[in-house]
Structure 1
Amino acid sequence: MQSSGKQTYADGWALALGAEWGSMEFAKRHAEVVNLMVATIEQLNALPERARERTLRYINAWWNSIVQPQVNWGDTGRPAHGIIKQDMLDHLEAAADIIAGSLVGSTAAPRGVNFDAIADQCREWLDLLQSMEESEISGPVRDGLISQIEHLIWLVENVDLFGGARVASEASRIIGTLAQASATMENANPETVSRWKKGWLALIAVCVAFNGGVAVVQESIDSGTAIVKEITGVVNDLQGGE
């Protein structure tokens, strides 16, 4: 935005986000920038003490540059290049380098680039969820999962804008949500249950591979199998050992 030449904050953000100011898509994309800010705070808090203390002091300046709570975004007297000073951008880039070096292989700094594999798994999940009856899974639970998975596909499609860390983080959240939802599927037919478990393992595999590298696909599948067994045991205990 600093070099955009735009005469207002609103126009600068619209150009940076590739969405029309005031549109729903603009709101969605700017909300993702806020999500990135939240994730950055969490990641900085995970750093060693010296790096953590050195970087957290800039949080307020970065947040102000995103939200600008005390100014009119349409004010022509506030050109886009004034949103944030270059030194604050330099500190933000340095913080990103520290996160990438310290948290490599985690959702904060994934090593993979195969976004298509994640999107393919998402589309398979959408096919499964949309085919399930109300008797197999609660409608609100199903619709919530569909919304989350569609959002993950959207993040993959916009990875150049929001980065791979948001993809990895959202994929991990969906894995947990799917695990919780599986505990409610008391009346699902065996074929659906089988597809659900296979799909869950496949999603775990592709996400772990995305974070840690292709070589860990089989290990992630084996780990996922163990997790499924543990979850199944817990669910059975909750249901009285059935």
Structure 2
Amino acid sequence: MTDNPAIALRNILRGVMRDDAHIDKAWVAVLGANVGTLDFSLRHSEVVALWRQVYDLLFALPGDDEDRSQYLSYMGHYYTAIVPPDAWTNAGSSVANPLIVDQLTGIATTLQYRAIAAPKLGDPALSRLRDAITEWREILDEAEFDEKLSTELHAQVDHLEWLLDNVHLFGSGPIAETSKKLVGSGIAAMGVKPSFAKRIGKALAPALVVIAMFHTVTDDLKGITEGIADMKDAVVEIVTPPKQIEAPKTKELPAGKSETPPESPTPEDGARG
């Protein structure tokens, strides 16, 4: 089974195409946040990101591909359905043509057939990632990072948790992308706080597994985990300040003895009687 952004986008648009509610009410029902709030903005932006992901995958198809040109012609319609040009409070929520929205099923099939849709992340991987969030919160409480890095890590961890809670809506793609950002920030945090490097490396391991699973088709999780352990140890070694090289101790010599070795006799000296 694949994790297909076109299917995720189709399901969301089907959810907001309700005749019994205003546009804003329909989106509130799908995203679980009120229009105009920060939470709504963050969650709605993930829908826009899904649109861009579908667009990029279609655009990457060969230029003479008939599916490419046909499906790209629908993308403007989908964007207008996501970001309505009129007020959110307009009556009715049929902002998209159901027949065109259903074409997203065909787009999803094309992406899957071309093997450019990623494998779906399993429950074990997602569960380990959720456990890592708990570890991250403990690290953030104890490590006392500077305000900028702390804010960045808190935001990424919070967003990752929300995406895990809504994986049924957005799929695994946003989880993998947010995991990439967390790994980047986490490696920086290891350099800032070497004493927390091992704990941070452990917390990053599930994110690295998710990234590897999402971008490469592999079932060898043991091998991936071992590779991550090697990477973690290497990072710990790199960021840990090296010990100062001690100067060699001077050997104590008996009284009257010189530390300078005697000079070797020259050939002329050896010839003299």
Query: TM-score normalised to the size of structure 1?
Result: 0.76
Alignment of 1:43 onto 2:57: yes
Q: Residue in 2 aligned with 1:60?
A: 76
Q: Residue in 2 aligned with 1:110?
A: 120
What is the CA-CA distance between 1:210 and the residue it aligns to? Answer: 6.4
What is the CA-CA distance between 1:223 and the residue it aligns to? Answer: 2.8
Instruction: Determine which of 180, 191, 196 is the counterpart of 1:172.
Output: 180
CA contact (8 A) 2:28 2:35 kept: yes
Q: Residue in 1 aligned with 2:263?
A: none
CA contact (8 A) 1:209 1:220 kept: no
CA contact (8 A) 2:31 2:43 kept: yes
Instruction: Determine which of 138, 142, 153 is the counterpart of 1:131.
Output: 142
1:241–1:44 Cα change, 3 Å: farther
Q: Residue in 2 aligned with 1:74?
A: 89
- The worse-fitting range, judged by mean Cα deviation, of 225-234 and 149-158 is 225-234
Report the RMSD for the aligned CA atoms in angstroms.
3.2
Q: Residue in 1 aligned with 2:208?
A: 204
- The worse-fitting range, judged by mean Cα deviation, of 138-147 and 11-20 is 11-20
Alignment of 1:142 onto 2:150: yes
Quick one: distance in 1 between partners of 2:110 and 2:123? Answer: 20
CA contact (8 A) 2:24 2:35 kept: yes
What is the CA-CA distance between 1:60 and the residue it aligns to? Answer: 1.4
Task: Work out which of the two has the higher radius of gyration on C-alpha atoms and give 1 or 2.
Answer: 2
Quick one: distance in 2 between partners of 1:214 and 1:131? Answer: 36
1:202–1:232 Cα change, 3 Å: same
Alignment of 1:17 onto 2:31: yes
Alignment of 1:177-196 (within 5 A): 177-183=185-191, 185=192, 188-189=194-195, 192-196=196-200
Instruction: Determine which of 28, 46, 57 is the counterpart of 1:32.
Output: 46
What is the CA-CA distance between 1:17 and the residue it aligns to? Answer: 2.5
Between the two proteins, what is the percent identity of the paired residues? 23
CA contact (8 A) 2:16 2:30 kept: no
Provide structure 2 residue ranges, at least 5 long, that are not aligned to the other structure.
1-14, 245-273
What is the CA-CA distance between 1:162 and the residue it aligns to? Answer: 1.9
C-alpha deviations, 1:138-168, integer Å up to 9, x for none? 3311221121011100111122222222222
What is the CA-CA distance between 1:74 and the residue it aligns to? Answer: 1.7
What is the CA-CA distance between 1:173 and the residue it aligns to? Answer: 2.7
Number of residues paired by the alignment?
Answer: 226
C-alpha deviations, 1:193-221, integer Å up to 9, x for none? 22122332343235535666783211212
Quick one: distance in 1 between partners of 2:69 and 2:182? Answer: 31
Instruction: Determine which of 212, 216, 220 is the counterpart of 2:224.
Output: 220
1:218–1:96 Cα change, 3 Å: same
Provide structure 1 residue ranges, at least 5 long, that are not aligned to the other structure.
none
1:52–1:131 Cα change, 3 Å: farther
